Amino acid sequence: MSSTSYTYLLITSRSGSLIYHLSLSPPSSSPALTTNDYLRIGSTLHSLKAITSQCSPVPGDGGMRTVDFGEGRMRVMQTETGMMFVLAARGGGAQDQTMAHCLTDIYAAWADWVVKNPFWEVDMPARGSRFGEEVKAICQRH
């Protein structure tokens, strides 16, 4: 088992609005974030992703993929439709490839549990505990 400890997941719509967030760590192990904190982080990361993709010297490059900080890392995955999935991890075992695989599995769960829900509309916040339970299970496996 790796020493990676996933802390949170953010999902933003193609317009940059936060449509889903989930805390993945116990409340005692990391600072509690409010909904406004998640909104600010999601909006900022969406803007940074757009700026880095435009400033990249490589044409067609997607821009920012990882953000390293102190004892952790954030991994960013942007879908073909413009949605952005951000997974934050803490610990020395936060391997980029492992986080990328985890995000791919979370994206598949998003398609199964949210997109296939007949009551969910594109770019609207996602509700429902089944997706959150699946995300936690995926993070446990990775």
Q: How confident is the model at residue 94 (pLDDT cuts 50, 70, 90)?
A: low
- Angle subtended by helix axes 96-110 and 129-141, to nearest 10: 150
Tell which residue, 103, 72, 79, 99, has the closest CA to residue 12.
Answer: 79
For 29-33, the CB contacts below 8 A with 24+ separation are 29/5, 30/90, 33/8
| Residues 2-44: tens digit of each pLDDT | 456 899 999 999 998 999 999 988 766 667 788 899 999 988 9
| pLDDT for the residue numbered 68 | 86
Radius of gyration of the chain (CA): 15
Write the pLDDT tens digit of every residue in 39-76.
Answer: 999 889 988 888 888 887 877 777 888 888 888 889 99
Strand 66-69 versus strand 72-78 pairing type:
antiparallel
